[in-house]
């Protein structure tokens, strides 16, 4: 039952790949021609004008690049940073969708600007024809928002930063812990642990014993003054 409840969640790697694909898809949708119309000049009565998505709706290309950057950043940030990245990705999806939808709603301003740039006059000699790409870009922008929200909802289940480099102390009761405790009680340093400041070194703890029966000089002199032989002992 728990596995079924978690099956809808999006993994971090899947979220990164999904946002990358959607960002690339928005860029690809902005590259082709979105509008077709025509104008006229003094030398040519029929000037065909083709307007790409990057020209008609600059917000689509800019938003798509931000989505790609957010997808790459999602694999590097932590718990708080991922929320910021996903909010930025969702906002970029809104920009992509809104910019493309504006062309679908009224393509005339973009077409007029393109005709004026091509012919020098703003008068069009034919109606504006839309290609399917503005609708595709609008749908991709909506999908970016959905993917960002999905990733945000799934993010609490994502793994944290790896703790493999953390120092792990042996648990109490294990043979290693008991051995360390016994060596500490006996005053013996554990292997690899530094000696405490001011503590005597190993040579001081185990001094070499000198000759046990070496005679004292004062005692020898007193024996000689009494006429005794100090070696006869």
Beta-ladder partners of 37? 49
Structure tokens given for 2: 């728990």
DSSP secondary-structure letter at 30?
A: H
Give just the sign of the alpha carbon dihedral 151, 156, 159, 162. positive
Q: Is 96 helix (H, G, I), strand (E, B) or coil?
A: helix
Q: Is 50 helix (H, G, I), strand (E, B) or coil?
A: strand
Give the pLDDT confidence of 160-204 residue by residue, as tens digits: 543 443 344 545 555 555 565 565 555 555 454 454 444 444 444
In this structure, of 39-48, 56-65, 137-146, the range with the lowest mean pLDDT score is 39-48
DSSP 39: E
The C-alpha angle 80, 84, 87, rounded to 5 degrees, equals 135
């Amino acid at each position: 039952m728990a596995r079924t409840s978690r099956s809808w969640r999006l993994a971090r790697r899947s979220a990164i790949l999904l946002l990358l694909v959607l960002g690339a898809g928005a860029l690809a949708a902005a590259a082709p021609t979105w509008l077709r119309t025509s104008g006229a000049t003094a030398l040519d009565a029929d000037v065909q004008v083709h307007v790409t998505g990057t020209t008609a709706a600059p917000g689509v290309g800019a938003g798509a690049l931000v989505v790609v950057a957010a997808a790459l950043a999602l694999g590097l940030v932590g718990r708080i940073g991922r929320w910021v990245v996903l909010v930025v990705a969702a906002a970029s999806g809104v920009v992509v969708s809104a910019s493309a939808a504006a062309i679908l709603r009224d393509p005339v301003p973009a077409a007029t600007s393109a005709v004026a740039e091509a012919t020098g006059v703003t008068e069009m000699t034919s109606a504006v024809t839309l290609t399917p790409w503005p609708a595709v870009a609008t749908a991709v922008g909506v999908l970016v928002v959905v993917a960002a929200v999905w990733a945000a909802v799934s993010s609490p289940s994502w793994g944290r930063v790896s703790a493999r480099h953390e120092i792990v102390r042996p648990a109490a009761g294990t043979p290693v812990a008991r051995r360390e405790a016994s060596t500490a009680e006996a005053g013996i340093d554990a292997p690899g642990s530094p000696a405490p400041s001011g503590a005597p070194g190993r040579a001081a703890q185990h001094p070499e014993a000198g000759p046990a029966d070496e005679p004292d000089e004062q005692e020898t002199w007193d024996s000689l003054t009494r006429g005794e032989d100090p070696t006869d002992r």
